[in-house]
Structure 1
């Protein structure tokens, strides 16, 4: 039986969130027993997400890398449930996945900052992904022009070492697979 958000008492659990009726207007994430609700992304956000997905998928195929890129899937982290805009995950793990992926199976979590999510994407989620051991956290800021922040988990954990790629720049990544992108190309 599903429970309405307004009828729930006490802290939320992952099982509580997964039992909610499907909501096509909001993304519902869970951090520390508290729900984080944000509106579903708008068209400009989704256009860029789709373009980035296609570029990442092509790079994975070209490298014959054992990964799959997915949009907006539930990822279990020690403190709850997150829904990154994109994930690059172990293909063997995604083949058998149901409603969720474990953070252990995620190689890259990608967030595209929107007005309603930018503070959480910049301040909260990097710490949650790092604590879960996700090796890479990428954040794409769209305004005033696309900038891609590439985070790699610091040795020993504790956060991400960041590098920012400005419009006109190049990612020139070799890990977790070769990938080269000028963020400005996402807004054509």
Structure 2
């Protein structure tokens, strides 16, 4: 790997290998920015996030952890290895408890993930709405949520999807504006109103 200097700042950016990066590169390249993802062999750097993104993740993590059964764990912003060339970082994941191996852990395998959640940001709309759901489904992750701001008030909307194991695609099972009341991946009853978000 070589690096090219930029004229403006004197920084050196990594030049990708001819066949693109692999998951191994994602965990060994020095000085990558926090929350770098690997999509189709390309490194994706994350822009500064809006307050909606951060507080919505906090709201979901707190709610999911408050109801999680012992055999599962809730994690935020951890890489999920889908295959050799894809290591996205869902905003929230629900994983099998036995997949949590210690405080130095940096990744989970797709087979250990029951739910992947993406909170849409302006810089990641296409990835969150299209690229990542297709890849999560192809990797067999059973549940996917897409969370967005909606309407003039900017209230949260949670779209809930479930995997069709035959077609390896997600089917929409519900759109939730105020309460997220579900029986899968486990029993949940979460307040996802704008007021609940503003209390954080």
**Runs of at least 5 residues in structure 2 that lack an aligned partner in the other structure:** 4-11
Whichever structure has more helix as a proportion of its residues is: 1
Q: CA distance change for structure 1 residues 157 and 98 in 2, over 3 Å: closer, same or farther?
A: farther
Tell me how large the CA RMSD over aligned residues is: 2.3
Cα distance in 2 for residues equivalent to 1:7 and 1:175: 43
Cα distance in 2 for residues equivalent to 1:98 and 1:149: 29
Give the TM-score normalised by the residue count of structure 1. Answer: 0.86
Give the TM-score normalised by the residue count of structure 2. Answer: 0.81
By how many angstroms is 1:23 displaced?
4.2
Whichever structure has more strand as a proportion of its residues is: 2
By how many angstroms is 1:39 displaced?
1.3
Residues 152-161 or 84-93, more deviating: 152-161
Spell out, residue by residue over 1:67-96, the C-alpha distance to the aligned partner (whole angstroms, 9 max, x if none): 110110010002410100010000111135
Alignment check: 8 A CA contact 2:41 2:86 kept: yes
**Runs of at least 5 residues in structure 1 that lack an aligned partner in the other structure:** none
Aligned residues: 183
Aligned pairs (5 A) from 1:113-124: 113-124=120-131
Query: Which runs of structure 1 show a deviation greater than 6 angstroms over 4 or more consecutive aligned residues?
Result: none
Residues 71-80 or 81-90, more deviating: 71-80
Alignment check: 8 A CA contact 1:111 1:139 kept: yes
Cα distance in 2 for residues equivalent to 1:172 and 1:68: 19
**Are 1:29 and 2:37 an aligned pair?**
yes
- Choose 1 or 2 for highest CA Rg: 2
By how many angstroms is 1:135 displaced?
0.4
Residues 69-78 or 151-160, more deviating: 151-160
